[in-house]
Structure 1
Amino acid sequence: MAAKDIVAIASGDAQFKTLTKALTAAGLVSTLQGKGPFTVFAPTDAAFAALPKGTLDDLLKPANKAKLTKILTYHVVPGAVLSTGLKSGNVTSVEKTPLKVVVSGGKVTVEGANVVKADIKASNGVIHVIDKVLIPADAK
């Protein structure tokens, strides 16, 4: 297993600057530095940039911490699931809303987001990089 935890890997990777900022704003850094294991579907900065104008700034405001936390925990699944262990169907996120995973033709999507890089191993789980920010229906 890798020596760095999920947060250390994300904060050391230039494509996750927005995710790292959001985790800090939501107070989730210590959780994702915890024992886990966790599987994180991690949106890139480009995925956050694709949100409607003003959405991210709004979510990062202290008054919206609960909504931001809900969205971020929707990207986390309990347990360390490598891409070889992913199969089509629903998996329950830490946020408690199921995520629809589709594995087809060697590609994986989660709620319609493409997994663009899989299996970044951390000491407390695994990161799969996705190209879209997932937002649960009740947080839209």
Structure 2
Amino acid sequence: MHSGPRILLWNYTYEEMLVIDAFFQTVGAPEVQTIEQNQGELTVREILFADKRSEKEYALDEKIMLFYNVDPQIIHTVMRKSGEWNLPKPIYAVVTKQSIEWPFSELAEHLVKERDFVKKKMDGQKKHQSCPHSEH
């Protein structure tokens, strides 16, 4: 396994992967690596650098796109233009020095909680802004 930039994908269908492949080629994105269900309990480092599998399968019905050593300009382009390709909106995240040591399952659940927290907070702000007579 090499240490170059990669984009890790979780929970995409074969058809979605075909579209992602074409999209990534047009924006100059690096190599894609799919995280398989039998890799969910492995650390992100193991997924990136070891050809390992786990006996235990992991399931999470969320799409996740993890960027490992990817140029920030490419990340922004992928996030900005993926809607033009009718791709499902995933949870986007960058692999950090800390998160690379986490089991993917823990990282994924943390990302879902984080996304839900931000969404709830933003929904609350929208509600507050749309009601000028609110006492809050």
Structure 1 length-normalised TM:
0.30
Structure with bigger helix share is 2
Which is greater in Rg?
A: 2
TM-score normalised by length of structure 2 = 0.31
